[in-house]
Structure 1
Amino acid sequence: MNVKTFLSALLVTFFSIQSYEFSGTHFFASYKECDSEALNRIEELKKVFKDAVGKSGATILKYDFFDFSKESTTGTFILSESHASIHTYPEHQACFVDLFTCGDHCLWKPFHKTLKAYLKPKIVDKKVVIRS
């Protein structure tokens, strides 16, 4: 490696470290009185949740779902930026979701909008916490 390449790499590293902020956004919600059919179509719900995570701008590294019965599921996504999850309770026409992302380039609103459009909840209890 020549001196010019070394100095260039050093400057890039220095400015990358300087611009990083230890912060994140944690969105979590309870969707209640959801469309029963939407909650019971587990395969479609999985696709919609994955799409919602993608629309947030997050990078999906790995994900998995566990079906507790033919009607209930839990999904977790490991993201480059942190994580997302969903836990459904069809017997209550409800589910819990959360999206936690580090940094400021991911957006919770497209995630929420996508899920809300599919689940059609009559009641939404949501919170957004800026963590640092």
Structure 2
Amino acid sequence: MEYKQIDAQIYNYRFWITCTNPKTLKNKYDALLKKIGFTILQFHEHYFPEKGYTCFWLLGESHLAIHTFPENKKTYIELSSCNKEKLTLFKTESSLL
């Protein structure tokens, strides 16, 4: 990967959805990151013993984190990115999921 010097700026997008299925969330958001052109460096996930799921993608442009709260039928999603254009595309495309 070639280094690209950029301004020190991070853009955030946070929202809640009702889907709490780990497989569905992982597949949809992995495909979305790839479609937009984010650089996926690593992926990690954790299933909590009773309920809940957390996963994150380490991106060349920062990270995407997902945290489920199945008992409340809610999932929190947060994307942080130094690339404003990709974040804007993520906002648009994720609203269509």
Fold shared, TM-score > 0.5 on shorter chain: yes
Please give the alpha-carbon distance, in whole angstroms, between the structure 2 residues aligned to 1:70 and 1:112.
34
Give unpaired runs (5+ residues) of structure 1: 1-15, 119-132
Report the Cα offset of residue 111 of structure 1.
5.0
Give unpaired runs (5+ residues) of structure 2: none
Please give the alpha-carbon distance, in whole angstroms, between the structure 1 residues aligned to 2:84 and 2:96.
24
**Quick one: which amino acid aligns to residue 88 of structure 1?**
T
Among 20, 36, 44, the residue aligned to 1:39: 20
Determine helix, strand or coil for the equivalent of 2:28.
Answer: helix
Length-normalised TM-score, structure 2: 0.75
1:22 equivalent to 2:21? Answer no
Query: Whose radius of gyration is greater, 1 or 2?
Result: 1
Q: Which has the higher contact order (CA 8 A, sep 6+)?
A: 1
Among 61, 80, 86, the residue aligned to 1:81: 61
Percent of aligned positions that are identical:
23
Please give the alpha-carbon distance, in whole angstroms, between the structure 2 residues aligned to 1:82 and 1:66.
19
Equivalence map 1:109-128=2 (5 Å): 109-111=89-91, 113-114=93-94, 116-118=95-97
Report the Cα offset of residue 65 of structure 1.
0.8
Length-normalised TM-score, structure 1: 0.58
**Quick one: which amino acid aligns to residue 22 of structure 1?**
A
Q: Which has the higher helix share?
A: 1
RMSD: 2.4
Count residues in correspondence.
Answer: 94
